[in-house]
Amino acid sequence: MARDAVPTHDAVDDIVSQWASQWPDLDVSALHVFGRLHRSYLRYQTSLAAVFDKHDINIASFDVLAALRRSGPPFRMTSGQLAEMSLVTTGGVTLRVDRLEKAGLVTRERDTEDRRVVYAQLTDKGLRVIQEAALEHFANEARMLAGLSAAERDQLAGLLRKLEHSIESSESPDSKEHSA
């Protein structure tokens, strides 16, 4: 099959068909979206892991290093700031920073005016690793999207934004009131 050719039938279609055959009254139509999203995510994760392995980091490490790099010089943030950026608890961030510190990619530094505040800061080695990994990572992501036109990428990004909002809204306690 040509690289740009999209299959007209896939494993998700088979699964939906099996459900329809075995339980005709069960509405599994959401599987058309979430089944493909999940399968795409698994392929995406595999591809990311291959890139990050080359740099002796994982996706969690990349997340912290990238947040520090995006913050600009002096490339430092508190655990609270990192937690906000990555949607991970401050405890989870602490574990990540511990690993990065052991690897020599970040250091911890106390605020000179408020000793309770501790910053995680990129080391020179950490800056080098994140810059190399980011270049390869974003080139890899661009390759993964090569089968989509710019307009399709924009459309997909907008739809995924809308999907995330829909999921988030469905999780809120008063979401049932809004959908009634």
Per-residue tokens: 48: 């990311």
Query: What domains sit in the chain, N to C, each tagged with a CATH number?
Result: 30-169 (1.10.10.10)
pTM: 0.83
Over residues 23-35, the pLDDT tens digits come to 999 999 999 999 9
In this model, does residue 130 exceed pLDDT 70? yes
Q: Quick one: which H or E segment has residue 31?
A: helix 31-54
Over residues 49-87, the pLDDT tens digits come to 999 999 999 999 999 999 999 999 999 999 999 999 887
Rounded distance between C-alpha atoms, residue 155 and residue 151, angstroms: 6
Q: Which residue did the predictor score with more confidence, 6 or 116?
A: 116
